[in-house]
Amino acid sequence: MRSLLITLRKQWPFHILLIPAVVVIFIFNYIPLYGLVIAFQRYNPSMGFQSPWVGLDNFVRVFSQPNFVQTIWNTLFIAGFQIIGGIIVPVVFSLLLNEVRKALAKRVFQTVIYMPYFLSWVILAGVMIDILSREGIMNTFLSSFNIGPIPFLGDPHTFRWTMIVSEIWKSFGFGTVIFLAALTSIDPSLYESAVVDGAKRWKQTWYITIPSIMPIIVLMSILSLGNILNAGFDQIYNLYSPIVYSTGDIIDTYVYRLGIQQAQYSVGTAVGMFKALIAAFMISMSYYLADKLAGYRVL
């Protein structure tokens, strides 16, 4: 105890510096954890946390709704394909971009494909709604090949694919830059000895390039597992409409509509909590695997 006091006396400025962050995180990240109790109550805003306890009623109610299972399936479907495409497309692009020998051209391509990543889904949704509408250029373009019109945003079956492809479109530039960085760090002497052994470009790619970036591919795949329940609230909320709820409603949009728009706080919190539990498990698992398999640590 005495020694602790002595240490603290010497170190107090460090602890003073930490106080603001500790307080802010406590208020905005830890107190809401207490708020999770309303998942077990029939929350009434005027009574607050003194609302009557109902046990697991809210969970039972949620799980027994037919569209809840569908919502989970939609989330996994959309997120799953977004993740798979979000790995494959950038890997292919970084390999192709790596073959471009003109530095300027390489930089221009990189800059252009990277751009949508920095724009908000609100703006991109606005752009997409214009382009993909019945009268938009996409359908005008397709009609010149006698295809369509395709209701990209107005048909339950097409909608989820629109969400998958557009998410990949928004973020593949970002992934490409990561893999490209990995490619440039491959030891050139590997290629030199491969050439001596008579390997052509294709063999070099297959036996040197791909194995060399495999660790980072594995790492990116594992880390994206933590996102398997995030199919993109911003994207879907800005683009969907009641017509496509059947395939487009994901857990996050469901929680928002139920919890905030219809003010069913308890039910919404129950859904959110269910999602958070699985997500916490998935994220911990992905970090654990990333450490074990790829030696990656956040801290």
Partner 1 sequence: MDVVLNYRSPSRTVFVVFNTIFLSLTAAVCIIPFIHLLAISFSGSSAVAAGRVVFWPVEFTTVSYEFAFRGGKFLPALWVSIWRVLLGVIVNLALIVITAYPLSKNKDKVFGRNIYMMYFVVTIIINGGLIPTYILVTKIGLLNSIWALVLPGALPIFSMIIMMNFMRGLPEEIEQAAMIDGAGVFATLFRVMLPLLTPALATVGLFSVVSHWNDWFSGLIYMQDSKKYPLQTYLHTLIIDFEEVIRLAQGDTAKILAYMNVRTGRAAQLFLATIPVLIVYPFIQKYFTTGLVLGSVKG
Contact set for partner 1, span 245-274 (CB under 8 A): 252, 255-256, 259-260, 265, 268-269, 272-273
Nearer to partner 1, 74 or 166 (CB): 166
Q: How far is residue 180 from each of residues 168, 187, 194, measured CA to CA in Å?
A: 17, 14, 21
Using CB under 8 A, which of the segments 51-59, 77-85, 110-118, 147-155 binds partner 1? 110-118
Query: Which residue, among 39, 83, 36, 45, has the nearest Cα to 230 in the 3D structure?
Result: 83
Stretch that binds partner 1, among 69-77, 78-86, 148-156, 189-197 (CB under 8 A): 189-197
Binding test (CB under 8 A) with partner 1, winner from 44, 63, 67, 111: 111
Cβ proximity to partner 1, 55 vs 297, nearer residue:
297
Beta bridge partners of 121: none
Binding partner 1 by CB under 8 A: which of 60, 122, 147, 210?
122
Q: C-alpha angle with apex 270: 268 to 272, nearest 5 degrees? A: 70
Closest by CA position to 167, among listed 278, 265, 93, 86: 86
Nearest approach, Cβ of residue 241 and partner 1 (Å): 9
Nearest to 173 by CA among 59, 86, 233: 86
Region near partner 1 per CB under 8 A, out of 27-35, 52-60, 74-82, 152-160: 27-35
Rounded Cα distance, 261 and 272, in Å: 15
Question: Tokens 């079956």 map to which residue?
Answer: 157
The distance of closest approach from Cβ of residue 31 to partner 1 in the complex, given in angstroms and rounded to an integer, is 6
User: Considering only residues 205-234, where is the footprint of partner 1 by CB under 8 A?
Assistant: 233-234
| CA 207 – CA 147 distance, rounded (Å) | 42
Site residues for partner 1, 142-181, by CB under 8 A, read: 169, 173, 177-178, 181
Contact range with partner 1 by CB under 8 A, out of 12-20, 59-67, 80-88, 152-160: 12-20
Return the SS3 of 154.
coil
44-103 residues near partner 1, rule: CB under 8 A: 48, 93, 96-97, 99-101
Distance, in Å, from the CA atom of 282 to the CA atom of 153, rounded to the nearest integer, reads 30
